Structure 1
Amino acid sequence: MSLINQQLSFSDVADAFLIHGSLQSPAFLDGRLAAGLALHDLAAEAWLNELCDALGVDQPRDPESAEVLLAWRCQSLEALAGEALNYEPLLPDEMFSLAERARGLQEWTLGFLEVLNDVDPERRQGWSAPLREALDDLEGLAAIDTELEESSDNENDLFALTEHVRMAAMLLYTEQHPGQPQVEQVEEPH
């Protein structure tokens, strides 16, 4: 099965983790991936090495697993760099309980912040005020209570928080990659 034009879901990546004997959530590593792509242009080989370390293996178990793990990176990079601004963190979907989705968002945030914590404070001071504010907000999000009861209010709150981390990831990427994506079209003089 080719993954070239297929959108990977949280469950697809979690299944690849299971094949490697890991029960961990992909959310934490997806947060690390988003920050790594934004800050370091994380290369495919470096990503695969990071994943193998996290999964406790020397290399992917089979070519299909490697394809899933590399397609995950490619999917994230294309969404972060694309003009459509359609990046979505890889999080548990509606098939999971609200509490599980909240834990996934928290794990994503912790992974994202872990990479950011290695950034030189001087470099961070050069970032725009909106980006610094969005990242400061993520610090608070990392400490949220994930034991949410099923309710439309909690569902709406979780959606808003997810949108906030999505926007923070895209803002970090666009500030670190000026002109990518080019979201404002400049009209040519006639």
Structure 2
Amino acid sequence: MSLINERQDFSTIADTFLLHGSMQSPAFLDGRLCAELGLHDLTAEGWLQQVCLTLGVDQPKDEASAERLLGWRRQTLDALSGSELNFEPLLPDELFSLAERAQGLKEWTLGFLEVVEDAGEEPRKAWSAALAEAIDDLAGLAAIYTDIDDSAENENDLFALTEHARMAAMLLYTEQHPGTPQVEKVDEEPPTTH
């Protein structure tokens, strides 16, 4: 079975980064990926070049790494364009401390906003008020205080902030790609009676 079809999670991608000598979190790059897919339809080749540039390598170390990195893009694109609305940002999971998870969300948001800001004002003109507000709210999210202790209240707050980032990414993709996600269509023909 090909690795490209396996579910990529934060730890798997972080391990792939480590294999390439990089200690950075994949969260920042995932934020960039989500915004680029929303705004520019980033190709697989373009994505691989961007990751390699970030990792400071000419190309992935091996075929398995290349497949994992391409699988990450494919998984994100499928989730953003799918009718299930099950997109999730690639962030540290519950195996990480709340502070590490908050830092991951902050990095994801910074990556996402970097691409949006680089796109300039032109794309914004066509945005709905809901999308413009969601993106503007992300700027506040980028400034969150990440030195937090593990508590139920902080956990709930982080969940709500993560949900906001998730919805902003899906809204950006959906508005920039009318007709997707492909939601189930109602039958056009009236029911027949016997």
User: So what's the TM-score if we normalise by structure 2?
Assistant: 0.95
Match of 1:59 in 2: 59
Q: Distance in 2 between matches of 1:78 and 1:122?
A: 26
Question: How far apart are residue 186 of structure 1 and its match?
Answer: 3.7
Match of 2:115 in 1: 115
Match of 2:68 in 1: 68
Match of 1:36 in 2: 36
Q: Distance in 2 between matches of 1:123 and 1:176?
A: 9
Listed one character per residue, the Cα deviations across residues 85-139 of structure 1 (whole Å, up to 9, x for unaligned) are 1000000000100000000000000000000001231320220000000000000
Q: Distance in 2 between matches of 1:122 and 1:12?
A: 36
Match of 2:91 in 1: 91
Unaligned runs of 5+ in 2: none
- Quick check: 1:156 aligned with 2:151? no
Matches within 5 A, 1:174-189: 174-183=174-183, 185-189=185-189
Kindly tell me the number of residue pairs found equivalent between the two proteins. 190
SS at match of 1:121: coil
Question: How far apart are residue 182 of structure 1 and its match?
Answer: 2.5
**In angstroms, what is the RMSD of aligned CA positions?**
1.1
SS at match of 2:122: helix
Spell out structure 1 runs of 4+ moving beyond 4 A. Answer: none
Listed one character per residue, the Cα deviations across residues 8-66 of structure 1 (whole Å, up to 9, x for unaligned) are 11000000000000000000000000001111000000000000000000000010110
SS at match of 2:50: helix
- Quick check: 1:80 aligned with 2:80? yes
Match of 2:173 in 1: 173
Q: Distance in 2 between matches of 1:164 and 1:40?
A: 22
Unaligned runs of 5+ in 1: none
For residue 3 of structure 1, what is the amino acid of its counterpart?
L
SS at match of 2:118: coil
For residue 19 of structure 2, what is the amino acid of its counterpart?
I
Q: Distance in 2 between matches of 1:145 and 1:122?
A: 31
Q: Distance in 2 between matches of 1:37 and 1:77?
A: 7
For residue 110 of structure 2, what is the amino acid of its counterpart?
L
Match of 1:17 in 2: 17
User: So what's the TM-score if we normalise by structure 1?
Assistant: 0.97
Q: Distance in 1 between matches of 2:13 and 2:36?
A: 18
Q: Distance in 1 between matches of 2:118 and 2:184?
A: 31
Judge conservation of contact 2:28–2:110 (CA < 8 Å) in 1.
yes
Comparing 56-65 with 122-131, greater Cα deviation is found at 122-131
Q: Distance in 1 between matches of 2:25 and 2:120?
A: 28
Q: Distance in 2 between matches of 1:57 and 1:178?
A: 36
Match of 2:140 in 1: 140
Question: How far apart are residue 4 of structure 1 and its match?
Answer: 4.1
